[in-house]
Every structure is written in structure tokens, then in C-alpha cells.
Chain A
Amino acid sequence: MKVSNLSRREFIVQMAISSATIAATAMMPGVIFAGWNKNGQSLKNVKWGKAQCRFCGTGCGLKVGLSKGRAVAVKGDPDCSVNKGLLCVKGYHSVQTLYGKDRFKKAYVRKNGKLKAVSINEALDVVANKMNETIKKHGKDSVAMYGSGQWTIPDGYVASKFFKGCIGTNNLEANARLCMASAVVGFLTTFGADEPMGCYDDIDHADTFITWGNNMAEMHPVLFSRMLDVKQKKKNVVIVDFATRTTRTSYGADKSIIFKPQTDLAVANAICYELIKSGKVNKDFVDKHVAFKKGKTNIGYGLEDHFKFKKKMEGISFDQLKEFLEDYTPEKVEKISGVKAKDIRYMASLFGDPKRKVVSFWCMGANQHTRGTWINNLIYNIHLLVGKISQPGNGPFSLTGQPSACGTVREVGTLTHKLPFGVVMKKKAREKAAKIWNIPESRIDPKPSNHTMAMFRGLDRGDIRFMWVQVTNPMVTIPNLNRYRKGAMKDDRFIVVSDIYPTPTTDIADVILPAAMWIEREGLFGNSERRTQHWDQLIDPPGDAMSDTWQIIEVARRMGFKKEFPYKEKTHIKEIWNEYIQFHDNPKHRMAPYDLLREKPGVMWPYVNGKSTQWRFNSKYDPACSKDKEFDFYGKPDHKAWLIFRPYEPAAESPSKEYPFWLNTGRVVEHWHTGSMTRRVPVLHQAMPKAYVEINPKDAKELGITNGDKVKVSSKRGAVTFVASIDGRGRPPMGQVFIPFFDESYLVNELTLDAFCPLSKQPDYKKCAVKIEKA
């Protein structure tokens, strides 16, 4: 990375500090250095611009130091209530991800099998012509777009308008399907309204934290630090890490409880059983605000092509729930889950203690689960039984992995069945979209087409011939990758990829569009706590790089949709925002105006009467609630939250004689997702240079494996060789291994299974069967 001489020394000092920060975080998870801000202020000749970190769903506010047209420093924004000036290692190094040597500065088009640099206009012409040609030849549902929870809100909005409102296909999905879909369906089934009711300030009000399969110390380090901070300041704070392996979060917790994969379903039910049995149910809350339901059981795993699932829900009584829960006594569940009955009772006692304020946190462990919707529902069930919800310090909190999984994918609705307001199946929602988009309603297809896994299966089969991928790297992240890579590379498939660096996905592209990254364009994200955050363009993108929003607009116009995309280049983000917020102009979801968002480090929706809403469904805070009751779960027609009985059902694939180990995959603190950006930052790369397989020391001993040995890991779908890590960062129990997915040289998704939750269609990256052998 080159910097001007004037600021070079200051830059070196920043590097020195960031190295020390990384090292300290590695040694002491959760350690915070807020003094970084003061240090940043000492930089001379540097102007500071406002932005948000794009490397997880937390949404930390940043101040980006700018000098001579380059971003040269970062500090946490002390005015942002999310992080209060704190950052984790990825945040501190965020601007360095802009300056990797191999940034795409030109567009590329494959000619005679080779990618050739061309002008951006030529590449955009090729994309538009190919899309037109494919639609003509194979119909509108033969083209698809696969976007991202790292898309800005305007990116997702124009993608939805283009695909659903112009082309008329619902083949629009985003990688948030792989990380958040179970949370969405969990919210919708229990509350009828998506996204958390609480906010991060819950951390300051709570004294009890349960992390459900959620390694917060590495995945949401700033929130974890806030939790540890509360623990230092208050007496009686308890953190319970309920997980399938020991991680840095376990080390920071007061108690680590390990369960066997998939059995979180049984344990959650056992907690409910115990709460009822010990008389800890908040009867008043339950009588007023909770309805009891039961859904379908034995629902399958979505492994077959054209898998279909139809939901069914029926009302039950509280007594029927009690009867169902008889199968989940702590003693019975101990046998299934490996969790001691006394530990189940301990967790129930924390929830049941009227003096305790309890927050549950979860993320991928619960969501990437073939029963992801169910475990989301079950966590809500526990909170609902004791009435610990929608109040400061009391609430279930589903965290997001990506910076705008909420803002772009869930709120704009960049999923096959969604529109920016409502779902394609509902005439009223189609009418609203048609009115705002100024298109005939008949153009919007009333039938959802393909969710993500169905889309990649369609590409393999040939139902889909053209796919445009933006801000994501599916040739690293799609489960059962060997099948879908082969599918994407078949003759007569056309793949367009918009990205900033070469990846395994750009390797298979027919067209590569160079993208403007993050602060190289104006944008907005929406984080986990319903906070919308805006940033201005702070620096110029390199070469021909263009924002994803503008790429879509350019292609849409070339395909004849000029009227639908009338925006001016200079003001298009403001124009798009003003158009988009018409979809949410109601007290349940009103968004903040553009000018306010430009000023503030984020505003939470519903934004009503000049105020953010911190706790939804609570009439003291939420203007959409009916004022005559304390809580109003207005998402459901009966204004109640639905406590849905969900049983334990086994995983899609469990260890067998031939494949005796569970494989769990995930992330590490240094790297963002597939590492395509963070691995280009030398300090982060050195701190975590390559993927590894974590093995329990007893298993390793039995197999004659020592730390650093090469180990071949195989499943029914493939085999990959990794380096063994024994008692490194984490420790899986015997019979399990863990592999991170950030490293494109070791593709763990060649091993994973493409089973998914039939309700949410979200794949399970946490459970499949493998064997391990010394290589």
C-alpha cells in the first residue's frame, strides 16, 4: 500500500498500533482499546469522514482518515451508540482492504476462453445483450441475480426493481439466504414481523447473557466486549456459552455448556418443560400476549431437486403444550444432548428468576440448521413463557452476520418471494410496488421462483442459463460445492461477476465488472438492531470501477428500462432512498429521512415523530402499539406472539461407521467471510494465514495426529487436506471437527451437505459427517 510521504510516518505508526491490537486481541479476547481514537486525532493533514464498518452485522461507526485522495487511517466513532468508539481488528484494518495490489480496475470479457480487459461500457453492453438474448431464447426465468447482505440498500433496491418490476422474474436471491433466512422465518412465524424487537443497549440493561451456538468473541467482537464491560461494572452478571465446541466465547463466559449437534432443539424444549414444572411461567404475560400453536413435523431436509414444502399451523392449548413437553424432561434430554440435567435446570433457573434480565444471542449456529426456523421459534418460546421480551435488558436477539443482511435483504426484500413491502404472492403488495415503480402490476410474477439452493440447482440443470453475482463469492460458499461449480461451468451458462478482487467465482466468470467498494461510493446499510447507516463517497474508486447500484442501472437502461431508472448519477442514492422509503411509510416500519441519515451515525426504524424505536411491541417505546396494553404483538392478526411447539428431529446426515465425525464450519475473527478482502491485508493474513482442521486432542492421539500434521478430511461429497490444529483457538468435543471457510485454497464446502431448513430454505453448514486420516 503506497501512501504520500507527508503521511507515511503517521501511517507506519498506525500499522504498529494495529499490529499490537491484533496481538492483544489474540491473547485476550474482548480486550478494548478506545484510546485508539485519541491517537487517530493526532494525525496531521488528515480529514475525517463518517462511515460504518462493513465486516460484520454489528455496524460499528467509523471515522475514516483521508489524505490526498486515499483512506489512510480508521478510528471508532465515539458518537455511534453501536460501538461507542470501539472497533475490532477487522474494523481497524478495514481501509487497507481497499488497496490490495490486484484490485480490478478494468472490466473483463471472456473471448475464446480467455478473459480480456475491455472498457466498462463494452462489458455492460455484453451483459445487457446476453440477458436479452437468454430471455428471448429460454424465457424470463432463465436469468437470475445472486446478491448479498453486503449489498448496500440502493444496490438491493435497484436489483429488485430491475428483476421483479422490469424483467418480471422472481429469480432474485442474496447470500443472506445462507445466513439469515431462518431468523426471518423464525420472526415471521412467531411475531408476524421481521427483525429484533430490542437493540444493543439491551446489553447495558441485562445481567444474564445466553449465547446459543454463537462464538461472539470472534464473530461480533465489539458486542462481546460490551458484554464483558458490563460484567466488569455490575455484580451478578452471568454469561453462559451454550455451544457445540469450546471457543474464545467459552473462555470469556462464566459457564460453558456443550451440546451434541442438532440437540439444541431438545434442550430448548427441556428449558420450557422445567420453567412450567417449577412454576416460573409469567402467567399474566402469557394469558394476555401469547397464543399456542403447533406446526408440521417430520418435514424433511430439502436434499432433492424440486423439493416442495407446504406450511401448516394449528392452535393448541397450554395443557397440550405441557403434554408435548413431557418428552423433554431434563433427564430424557440429557440422554439425547449430552447436557447434564442439572445444567438444563440451571439455564431454566436463569430464565425463570424474576430478578434477572436475560438476553439470548444467536447467529449462524441457530440459523444454519436444518431446523433453523424451529430453534429460532424455541428460543422465543422460552422468552415468552417468562415474559422476558421487548423490554430494556430482556429479549431474544438474533444477530446478523453481514453489514446489511437486515437493511438490504430483509427490508428491501431481495429474496425470491419478497418485495420491498410484503410478498409477491399478495396482490396488495404487488399493487403497491407497481404504483411506486410506475409499472403495470401484471409485470410482477405472483409466484416465487427459486430460493438460493434451488437457483444453483437450476443453473446445474439448465433451467437457469444466465446468473449475475454481486458482492459475494458463491464458488467458495455454496455447500456441496463440487456439484454447483460443475453446474456453473457447463456449456451455455453465462456468469457475470461484479467484484473488487479475483476470487474462485471470478475465475469462472464470462464477464467481470470492477466494483467500487464501500466508501468509494455513497451508500446505506441496515445493521442487526434495525439501524440504518449512511455514508458519503469518501474517495474515488480505482480505474473503471463502478458501484453495484450504477452497474445495475446501466444494464437496465441498456435493456430498455430508461423510464424505470430515471435517476441522475450525482443524486441517485438520495433519489433511490426517497423512492424506497415510500414502501415503509407506516408507524411499524417508517425509515428516517435522507438528510438526517447523512448527519447521524445511524437511526433505528420505526422512526416516528422524530424518534428511533429501541424496543418494539412495547407500548412505552413503540408508537405502532395500541396504547391500551403494555405489549402489543401487532405483527399477528390476533395481536399475540405465537408460542409454537417444535420437536427435536435429527440432523440430515449424522456420523456413521464410515464417516464417524461431525463437521462444523465457521469463521475466525481476522477474516471476513471468504477472505477475499481481509486476506489481502498483510497483518490480518499473517495473523491467520490458512484454514485448518480443529481436532479434539484425544481423537488426534488415537489417530496418531499431532499439531501441524496434514489431515485428509472426506465426506460423501469430496475430500480436502488441511493442517491439524489441536488445542489452538478452539476445541471441539471428541467426535467433532471444526474448519473455517475463509481460505479459498482449502474449500471446506466441497465437503458440506446442501440440506436446508424446509421453512427458511437456509442450508446447514454446521452438521455433516466426515472421516479424518493422517495424509
Chain B
Amino acid sequence: MPVMSYIAYPVDGRYQEMSNDLASLENCQFIPAENEEIGIFVSDTQSAQEEDHLQERIKELSSIKCLAMTYAHSDEE
């Protein structure tokens, strides 16, 4: 049951699109910064399998320049 957090950076000019993309992912939260074009992305998936699936979906999102991981927790550890 992993919980991860990241700082999300958009491709130039695609901040809104990235915000929408990340906010729409299931079992995830996106907290946009008020005054910079970055956001906090938190995933809270129920299993390793679901986490893998999420990672695949994230890879498909072209609006993201980079996700910098800041926290990772897994109950299975």
C-alpha cells in the first residue's frame, strides 16, 4: 500500500494541463502552488500492482517535465 509524494514540474507553458492531468488520476491528490508553476503530487495506491499501473499512466502524461520524489512509504516494507 504505497504512499508517495513528489514535486511536479510542467513542460513550459503546460502547467494547467499538468495540473488537470495529475488531479484526474485515481487515488491521487494534486496540490498546486499558489505563486509558482509547480505542485505537490501525492499518490495513495492500494497495492504494488495498482502503483505499477499508476506509474505507467504517469509516463504517458506529456505535460509533466519531471516528478521529484520527496517521500515514499510502503506497508509491505
Contact = CB atoms under 8 A, between A and B. Distances in A.
Interface in B5-41: 5-7, 29, 31-36, 38, 40-41
Interface in B32-72: 32-36, 38, 40-42, 44, 68, 70-71
Interface residues of A, number: 29
Nearest to B4: A16
Contacts of A28: 33, 36, 38
B34 A34 contact: yes
Interface stretch (A225-233, A366-374, A582-590): A225-233
A19 B72 CA distance: 10
Most chain B CB neighbours (cut-off 10 Å) among A20, A22, A39, A42: A20
A486 B49 CA distance: 62
A9 B44 contact: yes
Interface in A4-55: 9, 12-13, 15-17, 19-24, 27-28, 30-36, 38-39, 42
A38 B41 CA distance: 14
Interface residues of B, number: 22
Given A20-B42, A39-B29, A12 B35 contact: no
A228 B35 contact: yes
Contact of A20 (B32, B44, B71, B73): B71
A89 to B, nearest CB: 12
A380 B71 CA distance: 47
A16 B35 contact: no
Secondary structure dominating the interface of A? helix
A21 B36 contact: no
A20 B40 contact: yes
Nearest to B31: A35
A32 B70 contact: no
Contacts of A24: 7, 33, 38, 40, 70
B35 A19 contact: no
B31 A39 contact: yes
B73 A15 contact: yes
B35 A23 contact: no
B41 to A, nearest CB: 8
A36 B36 contact: no
A644 B5 CA distance: 54
Contacts of B70: 16, 19-20, 22-24
B34 to A, nearest CB: 4
Nearest to A84: B34
Nearest to B6: A20
A163 to B, nearest CB: 46
Nearest to B33: A31
A36 B29 CA distance: 10
A21 B35 contact: no
B31 A17 contact: yes
Interface of B: 1, 3-7, 29, 31-36, 38, 40-42, 44, 68, 70-71, 73
Given A13-B29, A28-B36, A33-B40, 11 more contacts: A9-B1, A16-B71, A17-B40, A17-B42, A23-B7, A24-B40, A30-B35, A33-B32, A33-B34, A36-B31, A86-B34
